[in-house]
């Protein structure tokens, strides 16, 4: 499971508001292609309050996601499912990160076991959602990742595996696939905070 802004695409100060603003980060298509070739389903889990605030329409969000899939397809990669929450952060919501709702929906859809299904994000709310869904946590240093890494966070979020970007995280996860039967998820200790 992957966060979108800052993990897959270049993050914007006011969020991605148009198709023209959507730009894949370097190495992302290769990372997703590696997961595709390993037959690992990929779900994007993203808060999109930009819709809830009325900054963009649901149709524009759909066009942005179509562009994401198009750019990935150009490099023989694809996302299997996209989960998004358009609610604004005014009231607690079971789906909006840091709540685990969207992660749990993806786990159910793919019949995946949480403890073997890492969530890769760049923000504290991603780590919080992952721990509350019982998923392993991976932080990438793209997007807000460097700032997040420097923050103090509750010890309950640990361990967090930290990588420079999505490609390096996926390479670490997929390197051991040939030797594994179950679980898929395994990382070496040097990456743990």
By annotation, the residues acting in catalysis are 3, 5
22 contacts: CB under 8 Å, gap ≥ 6: 9, 16, 64, 67, 68, 71
Of 48, 12, 33, nearest to 166 by C-alpha is: 33
Closest C-alpha among 13, 94, 101 to residue 50: 13
- Do 151 and 162 contact (CB within 8 A), yes or no? no
Cα 125 to chain centroid, rounded: 11
What are the phi and psi torsion angles at 38 (to 5°)?
Answer: -85, 5
């Amino acid at each position: 499971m992957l966060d979108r802004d800052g993990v897959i695409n270049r993050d914007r100060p006011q969020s991605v508001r148009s198709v023209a603003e959507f730009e894949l980060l370097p190495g992302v298509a290769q990372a997703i292609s590696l997961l595709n070739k390993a037959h690992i389903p990929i779900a994007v889990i993203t808060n999109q309050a930009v819709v809830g605030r009325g900054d963009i329409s649901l149709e524009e969000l759909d066009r942005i996601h179509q562009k994401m899939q198009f750019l990935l397809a150009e490099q023989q990669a694809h996302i299997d499912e996209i989960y998004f929450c358009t609610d604004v952060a005014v009231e607690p919501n079971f789906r909006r990160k840091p709540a685990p709702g969207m992660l749990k929906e993806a786990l159910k859809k793919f019949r995946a076991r949480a403890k073997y299904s890492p969530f890769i994000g760049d923000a504290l709310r991603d780590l919080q959602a992952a721990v509350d869904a019982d998923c392993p946590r991976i932080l990438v240093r793209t997007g807000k990742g460097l700032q997040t890494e420097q923050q103090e966070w509750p010890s309950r979020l640990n361990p967090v595996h930290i990588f420079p970007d999505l490609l390096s995280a996926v390479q670490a996860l997929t390197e051991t696939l040939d030797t594994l039967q179950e679980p898929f998820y395994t990382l070496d200790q040097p990456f743990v905070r």
